[in-house]
């Protein structure tokens, strides 16, 4: 009978190892999602500003870049909120 006991003892350990692997994977996925914000937030701001500057040059104005900048920042915050809510 001891061989059966050894097999039963090994099953919970294997399940715990798989659970730890999932936890580590989830932690890495969360880190990747938050690291993505380090790129998305400034990129959204830059793209909004560039669109505003392009419209300023095309329409011969000097204030639309501010609107583009604000819209880029808002887009960055929206993505921040979406990422934070997705990880709950």
CA 71 to chain centre: 20
- Lookup: tokens for 38: 């380090």
Q: Report whether pLDDT(6) > 70.
A: no
**What residues does each domain of the chain span?**
2-86
Residue 17 confidence (pLDDT): 58
14-53 tens-digit pLDDT: 555 566 666 776 888 888 888 888 899 999 999 999 999 9
Q: Report whether pLDDT(2) > 60.
A: no
60-88 tens-digit pLDDT: 999 999 999 999 999 999 998 998 888 66
């Amino acid at each position: 009978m001891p061989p059966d006991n050894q097999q039963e003892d090994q099953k919970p350990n294997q399940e715990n190892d798989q659970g730890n692997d999932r936890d580590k994977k989830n932690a890495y996925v969360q880190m990747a999602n938050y690291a993505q914000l380090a790129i998305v937030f400034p990129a959204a701001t830059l793209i909004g500003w560039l669109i505003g500057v392009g419209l300023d040059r095309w329409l011969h104005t000097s204030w639309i870049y501010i609107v583009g900048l604000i819209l880029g920042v808002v887009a960055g915050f929206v993505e921040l909120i979406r990422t934070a809510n997705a990880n709950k």
